[in-house]
Structure 1
């Protein structure tokens, strides 16, 4: 088995440098002298193209500066075009000259390499601006998420830039004939290592981005999860801070919060309230029939929406009636006031109608040996004779 020998890199002989430059110079002079007309047309066209691209970049920069909303499509397109580099504009013009005037093979090869570098790099820059612009546009509807987005954009911009320019470098090297298999494998292994090391951080970061984009809740909303009811104060890159109704501050990681079933009470169109009314068994049937209509009148007089009311159950010590009504407001305070007013109005109306509320009671009946019911207490003593 023969060992593979390492490729031998030939040394550049100093004596060969000058003749090589001389060869390329002579070839270039001969090309220029033989294609004067084509070169004149090509150079003129290239200047026009360069000036047009520069004018387009200047107009785009002006539009981007004067735009009031960065999230608008017009502003995103303008910022993208404003990022057109001078190197790209120059190489587009030179490539145009090369295509029209048929430059020598050696010069064409050099121009093709530079043009490939210019166009791949420029496309990466444009894609970065478009992606970041669309991220800002998607999250631009939130008024209070701007600070969170600005904090997250630092890392998002870094990740997007690294990914795009890594792909651009691989494309450029591949077009230059470099074997990029090892480079791609190294980037893959490095990415996996970084992802495993910072798994928790990236999980919370992407959860924060998900909250900003999907908007299950926003800053100022009142949400419920598990046994907690709280108002959202800050949506951070790693955690969300909430203020519970009892006053304490709740801090929970974004990834853990999204794993829970969240109820956004702020988006509630109405608040439904249910009362269970327990009445004594001595309530007359005719009066019991009128209770649903009485309850309807009380609810409507207090500005709420009556849903239903009626008899529900024979309980151990009461006749149970259910009342359901809606408060057309998403404000918890409004619901509390309306529920209080309707409850007091029911108490007042039942008192005027002679309807009594029941409470847990137990009546004992005593029977004599012969089965006749007797009083469970001694009869009153007779009055003394006069």
Structure 2
């Protein structure tokens, strides 16, 4: 099983391509939680995510013949970029299979690092099937995204940095997809500080680990559904699972809504862009998904910042809705002069800012003398939303909340 020596050896290999990323004390999240929160900003890593560490360690350990034959892998995006850059830096040809719905930003970034990109499959698992076909057809070495000891060891260098920068750490919170990241970090930290807790976090829409731990064997999901595409795997790895069993203290899940709110918090309060998979660790802390003591030193690992701009728009709106700062409503007015003005006067009187209005006389769902109105509003919290809806209903408006 993976040990600290392998991680120390990996640290020497990955030094060429990876950065020692910052560990930043957060006054905001410390005040919000009562803990002492230090953010491990792995989203500042080269390629925007931790994957460059494991990819570099694996490629650096290939034999000369293996390097000459090239490598292939499957990835939703971050591992793809890590393998592409590590391979290019080592003079190794790389071919990356990505799901057909992979974010365009991650596809273009992977290509820019020198890899040939093949789009295949609906998710990571289907992309991996095609990648293994290419492995057999072309004699390339498959660089697994997580279920490989060299990859795990490379990711474990994050644990070494956490201990160096925060030696009194009590709890480290780590995202889990296939388990490579948490296996490496847990191994590095438990070897030196066995009493430090390791908390794993999955998205509720891709939560295979809890079931696997309960049954004592790897359980594969039929499918995944989450905004955290970087950890959207159907199952944990066969090699990572026993390490998680032995060295991870607890595994929890967070919802997409909680992930979205964590992303928005980081944007607004920390001025930091983090993708959904990178924000799950902070989401678990903010939404009390695990217990901790006042003053406990907690390090959430923010493992990546490669969020697609279209997804970022969706996440921001989700976060604003969850915090009561965005509201979309529908109501029906009499189709006569002044009706819309009367409605807007109520909204204005309660200090709701209007983003957009859609006014439709042609809907078949309303009377011939009526008009349907949809309004997007900026609001100031859940209390303000409740106040606004109550004011509209007291004036006789039948209001449907759309978002």
Question: What TM-score results when the alignment is normalised by the length of structure 2?
Answer: 0.28
Larger radius of gyration: 1
Highest relative contact order (Cα 8 Å, sep 6+), 1 or 2?
2
Give TM-score scaled by structure 1 length. Answer: 0.29
Question: Which structure features the higher share of helix residues?
Answer: 1
